[in-house]
């Protein structure tokens, strides 16, 4: 069981409260987590990563185990604590503006 | 008695203002999509409770919302869970991908940037949604970077009408100060194969074949701020308007100048007349009087507020040139708001109602064609767009 924390605007869009829990078979990477997240919540497609290139949107960041993993390759393995559900995978809207 | 529904898009969400035909007492619902910019909302002419909304943020991009109950509830078209992972994909209502295929004959990859260098086209947001006059599932979307898209499945998926960007001038289009946006879409009610669009700052274009091919319609425009003031493209058109009973007559608020065409855009002449300034953004036509038009003059391109701090709508009953200020109920001192291009609308009741929203968050209404005004609301977020529906 993977736990994903969405930013408030995307929780509203996906009509969820609190964490999202996802079953994921195979390797736990940014790509596989986002694939299964978008499968269950199609309205999130295009809001976290580009529809075509799958590149992370510029003002979205990913955190795992208190580390910013946004710049890690999308197929890099996420920490075991995320893969086991001990820690959540956080999708964060970057703090920007004045 | 008829009812009126005013759809207001703001920097921080959408609001729906409702009244009976007297247009005196208003109910306010919202914010819908709180915290998101709502560039535009508009209802289907054939199914008025079918509304479409363009919702966007710099963080999470574009969302298209649809309501089938007049805005009480909303959904993202095609956002339902897919039945199985190997089945056909559900809609992708926020997927706006430029067509660079050879089918257009002219695959386009770049336009001009501010410094004159080529720059790849990049989708940023939907500025304007124009539902079909006949089919509630067909909607046109004007987007930034400037392009026209169409859905025929109620917003689940969108395809570009690439012939517009494929016009020979497409690679020479460049953004204005607000970006390179397609902000105006007008469907000719007498000829559904004909449409008009306006782009900042490419100009205005017409199709007579359902959007397959387009021609610039800018003869008569004169813009001192571009290298060739009478060039075919490059004019910063802010808004165009048409009366449905007289579709060959178009009115235009340009960056500077209020213009009129009597031949479906083939030629234009200036009708700024006695306006205190002919800079502005919106322009509208009275619902029952095709020669009565409205503009809201703004001081200049560098000072986006009303001249003398007086918020005045100007009305011409002669199709331009002769203008009268409408001031009753509008602030006549210390007013420094702006009114954006999509933020004025008219209803079809009798007498005609006129509405506009300001960057200061006020939405003003007149139930008597502009003679008297009153605020419906005063303290919304900055208003981006106003549309109105008259309901049975």
Nearest residue on chain B to A47, judged by CA atoms?
B60
- The pLDDT of residue B102 is 76
B80 within domain boundaries: no
Host domain of residue B297: 85-375
- The pLDDT of residue B51 is 98
**pLDDT tens, residue by residue, A4-28:** 999 999 999 999 999 999 999 899 9
The SS3 of residue A10 is helix
- The pLDDT of residue A95 is 81
The SS3 of residue A59 is coil
Output the domain CATH number for residue B208. 2.130.10.10
First to last CA, chain B: 7
B277 within domain boundaries: yes
**pLDDT tens, residue by residue, B204-214:** 999 999 999 99
- The pLDDT of residue A94 is 87
- The pLDDT of residue B375 is 98
- The pLDDT of residue B101 is 81
B53-90 as b/e, with b when 16 or more CB fall inside 10 Å?
bbbbbebbbbbbbbbbebbeebbbbbbeeeeeeeeeeb
- The pLDDT of residue B312 is 98
Shortest CA gap A76–chain B (Å): 23
B27 within domain boundaries: no
Domain count of the fold of chain B: 1
Q: Does B62 touch chain A (CB under 8 A)?
A: yes
Q: What is the ipTM metric for this complex?
A: 0.93
- The pLDDT of residue B104 is 67
Q: Does B28 touch chain A (CB under 8 A)?
A: no
What is the overall mean pLDDT for chain A? 94
Shortest CA gap A38–chain B (Å): 9
Shortest CA gap A82–chain B (Å): 23
CB-nearest to B57 from A9, A40, A48 is A9
B249 within domain boundaries: yes
Are residues B76 and A43, on separate chains, in Cβ contact within 8 Å? yes
- The pLDDT of residue B107 is 63
Domain A2-93 has CATH 2.60.120.1030: no
Using 70 as the pLDDT threshold, list the residues of chain B that sit under it: 1, 81-91, 103-107
**pLDDT tens, residue by residue, B116-135:** 899 999 999 999 999 999 99
List chain A domain ranges. 2-93
Report which of B184, B75, B186, B183 is spatially closest to residue B124, judged by C-alpha positions.
B183
Are residues B61 and A43, on separate chains, in Cβ contact within 8 Å? no
Residues 6+ apart with CB under 8 A from B51: B7, B41, B42, B43, B44, B66, B67, B70, B71
Mean per-residue pLDDT, A38-63: 93
């Amino acid at each position: 069981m993977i736990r994903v924390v969405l930013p408030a605007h995307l929780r509203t869009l996906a009509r969820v409260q609190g964490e999202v829990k996802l079953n994921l078979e195979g390797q736990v990477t940014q790509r596989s987590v986002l694939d299964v997240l978008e499968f269950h919540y199609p309205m999130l497609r295009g809001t976290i990563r580009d529809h075509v290139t799958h590149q992370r949107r510029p003002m979205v960041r990913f955190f795992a185990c208190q580390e910013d993993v946004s710049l890690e390759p999308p197929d890099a393995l996420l920490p075991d604590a995320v893969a086991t559900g001990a820690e959540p995978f956080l999708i964060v809207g970057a703090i920007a503006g004045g | 008695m008829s009812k009126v529904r005013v759809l207001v898009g703001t920097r921080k969400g959408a609001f729906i203002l409702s009244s009976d035909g007297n247009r005196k007492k208003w109910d306010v619902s919202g914010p819908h999509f709180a915290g998101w910019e709502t560039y535009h909302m508009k209802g289907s002419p054939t199914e008025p409770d079918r509304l479409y909304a363009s919702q966007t943020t710099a963080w999470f991009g574009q969302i298209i919302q649809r309501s089938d109950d007049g805005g009480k509830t909303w959904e993202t078209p095609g956002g339902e869970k897919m039945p199985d992972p190997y089945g056909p994909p559900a809609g992708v209502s926020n997927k706006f991908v430029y067509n660079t295929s050879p089918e257009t004959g002219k695959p386009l990859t770049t336009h001009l940037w501010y410094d004159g260098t080529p720059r790849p086209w990049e989708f940023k947001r939907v500025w304007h949604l124009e539902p079909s006059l006949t089919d509630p599932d067909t909607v046109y979307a004007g987007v930034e970077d400037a392009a026209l898209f169409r859905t025929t499945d109620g917003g689940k998926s969108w395809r570009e009408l690439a012939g517009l960007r494929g016009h020979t001038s497409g690679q020479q289009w460049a953004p204005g100060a607000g970006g390179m946006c397609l902000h105006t879409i007008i469907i000719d009610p007498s000829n559904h194969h004909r449409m008009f669009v306006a782009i900042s700052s490419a100009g205005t274009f017409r199709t007579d074949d359902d959007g397959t091919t387009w021609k610039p319609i800018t003869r008569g425009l004169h813009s001192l701020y571009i290298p060739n003031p009478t060039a075919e493209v490059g004019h910063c058109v802010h808004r165009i308007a048409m009366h449905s009973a007289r579709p060959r007559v178009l009115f235009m608020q340009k960056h500077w100048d209020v213009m009129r065409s009597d031949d479906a855009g083939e030629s234009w002449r200036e009708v700024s007349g006695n306006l205190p300034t002919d800079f502005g953004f919106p322009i509208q036509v009275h619902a029952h009087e095709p020669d009565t038009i409205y503009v809201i003059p703004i001081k200049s391109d560098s000072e986006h507020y009303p001249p003398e701090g007086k918020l005045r709508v100007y009305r011409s009953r002669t199709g331009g040139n002769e203008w009268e200020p409408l001031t009753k109920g509008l602030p006549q001192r210390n007013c420094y708001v702006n009114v954006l291009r999509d933020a004025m609308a008219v209803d079809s009741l009798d007498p005609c109602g006129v509405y506009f929203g300001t960057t200061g968050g006020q939405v003003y209404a007149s139930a008597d064609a502009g003679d008297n005004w009153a605020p419906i609301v005063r303290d919304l977020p900055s208003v981006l767009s106003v549309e109105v529906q008259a309901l049975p």
